[in-house]
Chain A
Amino acid sequence: MIEVEEQQKNKIAANFENGEVTLPRKGRLVVTISKESLCSLLLFLKMDGFEHLSLISCVDWLGEGELELVYHLWSYQKKIHAMVKTRIDRESPHFLSIIPLFRHAQTYEREIYEMFGVRFEGNRRLIPFLLDNWQGAPPMRKDFDLRKYVKEKFDVEERAE
């Protein structure tokens, strides 16, 4: 049933020793890897048929003091969705841009820069994207208190939750 996925898992495990590969269900592949070898893994996967970058997500793990970047790749031939995950420091977050590999990563990186404050080296277009003249902490971080901010900014009355 999941032969292709197993093959892919072995291929990655053979080339990247520090990569931890799991197969949660059919058509899904999760690789957790250190931030140093992430770009080479992405290049490897791209050469291996994962040519479609679906999404770049960022998850704020406040308790662990880390930001997790998740790169979602899809292979049109193998029909596998690979999630490549890595963790970076939360205090002064910066990472390498993957624009040379996937051109439209530019927009995702722009959004993550705006929403989480991760600076991507090599992306020259880290300009305001969805927010207009935003002052204050990046809004998608977990320590951004939404309700307090809204109450102060818009003078809304107290409302039962």
Chain B
Amino acid sequence: MQFLSVIVLPLLAFMVAVLFLGLSRKITARIQRRYGPPLYQPVIDVVKLFTQEENISHGPVFDLGVMLALGGSVAIVLFIPVGGMLGLSSSGDLLVVIYLMLLPPLGMALAAGASANPNASIGVSRKLILALAYEVPFLLAILAVMIYGKTTSLMEATQSQQSSVLAWGLFRLPLSALATFLILPAMIGMRPFDMVTAPQEIASGPLVEFGGKYLAIASLQSALHLYIVIALFVNLFLGGGANAGTFLAKVLVVFVAVLLINAVYPRFRMDQGLRFCWKWPGLLALVGLIIAMVSRG
């Protein structure tokens, strides 16, 4: 069973991720009073990107960096339980996930650095600063979950919430859940925190020199990342899911909520984003952590 889920989980994640891309374009279009592209438009895009030929090469580091990012994301997917499917998750996997989540940005940073474009290097520095901004509340919130559940296993943290709705992390640790929800756009890179890829400022930032199959891999990776972040949120605070169906339904709800925020806010400047992340989610997560520590003695 576990062997099978190692194959099924990444496939499922890819499918959901591509569906998310299509859905996000369709929903955004409807908010903007447009009809929008067909739901399978991302598939067409990715197919097209894979068949395009670049006329130049950016060197081996560029190729490796992109693969590292995608590989890192696939590795994280294996550790995230979807309903009953557990993948590789075992005790201590929450720590593994936290560390693995550093891999994709690192890979993108390597590739963007190798592309030698000033826009890309500014984008990478913004990405790192933004990571600094959201890592603090995120780690505090995860610490609260770990202390409250007395576990470092994502699987156990999820399963302990499945007894009833009130057992969800959202109701047990409301402040930590709120803090994590507030930084979700920053982790995904959606507005108001899309300054990393801001096309109007730095011409899509790290992706500026990406074309053809590199862009295809990069967009798949970013879609996977979107799925990972939301799935992690669902697992930590919304009780995961008894089966894959309920789990994916919850993921979809959170995704649409993030998308609506994306549609009605402009973009922060870098320093404002940093200040916001540390001020509100940071404070909430800290208080949440203290509450968790007090309630568990």
A and B touch in the complex (CB under 8 A): no
Measuring CB to CB, which residues of chain B are less than 8 angstroms from any residue of chain A? none
